[in-house]
């Protein structure tokens, strides 16, 4: 069985989010485009909040089941 042990003190959710990043590549691109758009303006109300929420939700959809399966 592919039982993966993480070093003590390692943030498991961050670890699994990194492993799941390929599942959310398109949403990351959308977030980065939004950030570039916002950073290119001096005065804007745009915040990219929804793009960030969508990206993190996609990561968590993949990562959380993996992290919970490793809880002791």
Residue pLDDT, tens place only, 4-20: 666 777 788 999 999 99
Q: Is the four-CA dihedral 31, 51, 48, 18 of positive or negative sign?
A: negative
Q: What is the DSSP string of 18-46?
A: HHHGGGGHHHHHHHHHHHHHHHT-SS---
Residue whose token pair is 């691109």: 29
For residue 45, which phi and psi values (nearest 5 degrees)? Answer: -95, -10
Here the tokens at position 61 are 């959809």
Instruction: Return the half-sphere exposure (C-beta side, CA atoms, 13 A cut-off) of residue 30.
Output: 14
What pLDDT is attached to residue 1? 36
Task: Tell if the pTM clears 0.85, that is, is over it.
Answer: no
């Amino acid at each position: 069985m592919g039982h993966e042990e993480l070093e003590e003190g390692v943030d498991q959710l961050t670890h699994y989010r990194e492993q799941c990043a390929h599942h959310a590549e398109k949403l990351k691109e959308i977030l980065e485009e939004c950030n570039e758009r916002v950073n290119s303006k001096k005065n804007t109300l745009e915040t990219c909040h929804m793009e960030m929420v969508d990206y993190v939700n996609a990561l968590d959809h993949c990562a959380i089941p993996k992290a919970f399966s490793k809880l002791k």
